[in-house]
């Protein structure tokens, strides 16, 4: 019999587990009502770990639903990142606490912490009664609800999970809840050592036709098993490798594996934001890589209707969905967590969703890209240079 999740630390990557069910929930007009319904039906516990939280109509729904849950004696815990929640009003915080919700803030900003202030909790985890979980890339803000923000709503994805892997998500939350004050602790360093041991020595075998799933999460400060898993899958890709990310500025190693896969004949596609983005500088830095990618048969798609914020990797029948953008910052500094799934049926559903998104994209053509304006080339050079300087300062 498995121990209580609150008494056992969750090391990631977790073991592969079978017997899970996953449902894709694209866009806030689908996943927000489902999450609120789950909160309203909770009878024992609710755990939420969230980066971006801002007061508004969506936050009001959560505050009201969580307050009602606490009133009916459900244990409600809400872990927010101190930077990501700066637009969450004091009134909303007081409302939650006065209703009995436990609220904590990860790694509060302090002058004496210096560079440790850069370590943020970027995870998006919601666990209901230890039986049902929602993970992905959303925040609790109006930006993610098409019914509120309309054409300005961010394109996002969450997945609903049921099965044994939910227990691992609960453990992951429990650990950060207990170590929320600082990203540094002896226990965290022990976890990093265990992560590397699992990465290099865990050779768990299972039938490739049987659906399996595991959590993969980064601890920040150089611990990036999510990138390791992605690189491993790219090296073994046979047919397709489709990656969607809001901020494309990958490490040299990841970039090399993307190009190698395409040169082997794998259908490699990058689904990236177009002009609608909250960080144009990152987009320009990423665009400086387009020429080399296109020459190596990588297909680049820029999403046009809205800001593309979802984080998805689909390689053959393996998929990874969660909070992690495949850029240098997320993979090295932040707490991140992705759900990895090996399942032919589920991967087909993810593939169908991405195919629909590709139809709303501008496909970058190598010939036209080579004749882009001098202003565009200057922006790429400027921001890629800035990105290179930042990489040398913080990632080496």
- Segment 21-30 mean pLDDT: 98
Q: Are residues 214 and 155 in the same domain?
A: no
Percent of the chain with pLDDT over 90: 77
pLDDT recorded at residue 114 = 81
Q: Is 291 domain-assigned? A: yes
Residues near 240 by beta carbon (within 8 Å), at least 6 away in sequence:
266, 267, 268, 269, 314, 315, 316, 351
Of the three residues 156, 178, 200, the one that is the final residue of a domain is 178
pLDDT recorded at residue 251 = 87
Q: Is 48 domain-assigned? A: yes
pLDDT at residue 329 greater than cutoff 80: no
Q: Are residues 384 and 286 in the same domain?
A: yes
For 67, phi then psi, to 5°, come to -65, -40
Of the two residues 190 and 292, the one the predictor is more confident about is 292
Domain count, the chain: 2
Q: Is 294 domain-assigned? A: yes
pLDDT recorded at residue 260 = 98
Q: Is 6 domain-assigned? A: no
Mean pLDDT estimate for the chain? 89
pLDDT by residue (tens digit) across 49-71? Answer: 999 999 999 999 999 999 999 99
pLDDT by residue (tens digit) across 368-388? Answer: 999 999 999 999 999 999 988
pTM score of the predicted model: 0.91
Q: Are residues 222 and 94 in the same domain?
A: no
Radius of gyration of the chain (CA): 20
pLDDT recorded at residue 218 = 81
pLDDT band at 209 (very low <50, low <70, confident <90, very high): low
Q: Are residues 174 and 232 in the same domain?
A: no
pLDDT at residue 221 greater than cutoff 80: no
What angle, 0 to 180 degrees and rounded to 10, lies between the N-to-C axes of helices 90-98 and 57-71?
A: 20
Q: Is 199 domain-assigned? A: no
Q: Are residues 319 and 224 in the same domain?
A: yes
Query: Domain residues for 103?
Result: 14-178
Q: Are residues 219 and 90 in the same domain?
A: no
pLDDT recorded at residue 118 = 81
Q: Is 197 domain-assigned? A: no
CATH label of the domain that carries residue 39: 3.30.870.10
Whether 106 contacts 20, CB under 8 Å: no
Q: Is 192 domain-assigned? A: no
Q: Is 281 domain-assigned? A: yes
pLDDT band at 179 (very low <50, low <70, confident <90, very high): confident
Q: Are residues 310 and 221 in the same domain?
A: yes
Whether 46 contacts 127, CB under 8 Å: yes
pLDDT by residue (tens digit) across 265-303? Answer: 999 999 999 999 999 999 999 999 999 999 999 999 999
């Amino acid at each position: 019999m498995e121990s209580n999740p609150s008494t056992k630390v969750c090391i990631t990557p977790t073991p592969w587990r079978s017997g899970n069910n996953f449902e894709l929930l694209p866009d806030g007009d689908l996943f927000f009502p489902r999450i609120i319904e789950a909160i309203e039906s909770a009878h024992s516990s609710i755990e939420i770990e969230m980066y971006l939280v801002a007061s508004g109509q969506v936050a009001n729904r959560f505050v009201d639903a969580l307050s009602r849950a606490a009133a009916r004696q459900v244990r409600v815990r809400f872990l927010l990142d101190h930077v990501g929640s700066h637009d969450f009003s004091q009134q909303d915080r007081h409302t939650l606490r006065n209703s009995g919700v436990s609220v904590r803030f990860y790694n509060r900003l302090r002058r004496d912490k210096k560079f440790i202030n850069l370590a943020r909790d970027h995870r998006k985890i919601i666990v209901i009664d230890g039986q049902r979980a929602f993970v992905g890339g959303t925040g609790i803000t109006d930006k993610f609800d098409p019914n509120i923000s309309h054409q300005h709503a961010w394109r996002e994805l969450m997945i609903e999970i049921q099965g044994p892997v939910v227990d691992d998500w609960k453990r992951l939350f429990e650990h950060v809840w207990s170590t929320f004050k600082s990203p540094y602790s002896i226990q965290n360093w022990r976890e990093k050592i265990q992560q590397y041991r699992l990465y290099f020595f865990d050779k768990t075998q299972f039938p490739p036709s049987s659906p399996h799933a595991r959590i993969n999460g980064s601890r920040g400060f150089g611990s990036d098993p999510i990138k390791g898993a992605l690189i491993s899958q790219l090296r073994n890709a046979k047919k397709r490798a489709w990656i969607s990310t809001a901020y494309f500025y990958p490490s040299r190693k990841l970039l090399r594996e993307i190009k190698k896969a395409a040169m082997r004949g794998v259908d490699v596609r990058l689904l990236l934001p177009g002009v609608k983005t909250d960080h144009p500088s990152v987009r320009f830095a990423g665009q400086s890589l387009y020429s080399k990618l296109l020459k190596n048969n990588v297909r680049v798609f820029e999403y046009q209707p809205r800001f593309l914020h979802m984080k998805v990797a689909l390689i053959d029948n393996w998929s990874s969905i969660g909070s992690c953008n495949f850029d240098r910052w997320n993979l090295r500094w932040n707490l991140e967590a992705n759900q990895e799934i090996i399942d032919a049926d589920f991967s087909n559903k993810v593939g169908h969703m991405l195919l629909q998104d590709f139809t709303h994209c501008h496909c970058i053509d190598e010939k036209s890209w080579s004749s882009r304006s001098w202003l565009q080339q200057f922006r790429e050079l400027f921001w890629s240079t800035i990105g290179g300087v930042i990489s040398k300062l913080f990632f080496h």
